[in-house]
């Protein structure tokens, strides 16, 4: 990353922090595509006015989404955000569903259960261990395997970039929980890995459609924040009931920079009336698939949440974006 680029990002972060004139809703990527800038501006302006409903799909190369259909059948509504996963290297299927969802007016979120480099694939592989020192040392075979993995996913993301589809890109999630390989080496290797990925994707591959989402576990471990210049949204995961006010306040405290704070993953849906009453300004929730939407939430409760005026669903999204629209700043 060049010194000029670093200085530009620092100035942007300082401007947002100090409330001075300038690019108020600027992404960390100064070359971000206009659709990504517009989406990010909307997320920034949303705080405290409503929460975007999100649902993670169960991975698979499918033409329809069982979770989305279930929510619509129960509540008459669909989430505003569709969560996808490059797990199993299902690049073609994920991109097809991402483009379809974007075409329906929805917001796309993508994570990656990254199998251990260089050849691991899938969820179980993502929980193995690797020598992080060797992995991050240029010139080693393991480091080259790391770059090859990154580049394969970059090629998949380039398809969405060419289509100018903004992506809530949330890699290396639940890092501080240390159950995935990218967190098992501790905070400093994780931060180096995050910054390496950011630099390679933004400056080498020129992926200017990404909104970088940093997703903590619910354990609230200090010292893992990689820096204001490489994070656009910050969030935390919680799979127990409640609105998780303590987690919200803790996650928000990890940076002085103003940015959207998201309920990065959840099981039970947060109670929207309590969120509004207590000022817990999660920007979105993203409910996990299978048992988490089906068994941790009753049909009556799903119906209540998805029809609450504080909750922004797919059918309400365009009106909300229009209501909060401001000019896109460079």
From 57, 67, 265, 321, active-site residue? 265
Q: How far apart are CA 187 and CA 36, in angstroms?
A: 29
Helix/strand/coil for 254? coil
Q: How far apart are CA 270 and CA 280, in angstroms?
A: 10
| CA distances for 158 relative to 4, 231, 254, 281, angstroms | 25, 20, 31, 32
Question: What would the DSSP string read from start to end of 169-198?
Answer: E--STTGGGT-SHHHHT-HHHHHHHHHHHH
Phi and psi angles of residue 264, each rounded to the nearest 5 degrees, phi first: -55, -40
Q: Quote the tokens at residue 327.
A: 């000019």
Among 281, 185, 170, 169, CA closest to 224: 185
Told to judge if 128 belongs to the known catalytic residues of this protein, a careful annotator would answer no
Length of the chain: 330
From 67, 174, 271, 321, active-site residue? 174
Give the residue numbers marked as catalytic: 174, 265
């Amino acid at each position: 990353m060049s010194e000029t680029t670093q200085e530009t990002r620092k100035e942007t972060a300082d401007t947002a922090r100090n409330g001075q004139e300038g690019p108020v809703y600027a992404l960390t990527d100064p070359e971000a595509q206009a659709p990504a800038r517009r989406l990010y501006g909307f997320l920034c302006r949303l705080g405290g006015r409503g929460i975007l409903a999100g649902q993670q799909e169960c991975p698979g190369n499918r033409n329809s989404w069982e979770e989305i259909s279930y929510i619509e059948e129960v509540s008459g509504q669909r989430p505003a955000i569709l969560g996808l996963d490059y797990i199993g290297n299902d690049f073609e299927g994920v991109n097809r569903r991402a483009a379809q969802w974007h075409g329906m007016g929805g917001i796309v979120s993508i994570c990656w259960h990254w199998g251990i480099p260089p050849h691991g694939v899938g969820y179980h592989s993502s929980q193995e261990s690797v020598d992080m020192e060797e992995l991050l040392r240029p010139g080693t075979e393991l480091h080259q395997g790391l770059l090859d993995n990154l580049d394969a996913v970059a090629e998949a993301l380039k398809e969405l970039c060419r289509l100018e589809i903004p992506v809530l890109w949330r890699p290396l999630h639940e890092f501080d929980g240390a159950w995935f390989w990218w967190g098992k080496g501790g905070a400093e290797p994780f931060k180096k890995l995050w910054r390496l990925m950011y630099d390679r994707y933004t400056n080498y591959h020129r992926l200017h459609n990404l909104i970088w989402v940093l997703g903590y576990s619910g354990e609230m471990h200090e010292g893992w924040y990689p820096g204001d210049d490489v994070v656009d949204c910050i969030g935390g995961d919680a799979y127990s009931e409640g609105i998780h006010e303590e987690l919200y306040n803790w996650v928000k405290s990890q940076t002085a920079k103003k940015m959207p704070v998201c309920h990065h993953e959840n099981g039970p849906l947060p109670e929207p009336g309590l969120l509004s009453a207590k000022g817990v300004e999660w920007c979105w929730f993203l409910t996990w698939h299978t048992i988490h939407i089906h068994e941790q939430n009753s049909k009556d409760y799903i119906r209540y949440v998805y029809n609450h005026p504080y909750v922004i669903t797919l059918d309400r999204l365009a009106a909300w974006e229009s209501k909060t629209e401001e000019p896109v700043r460079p």
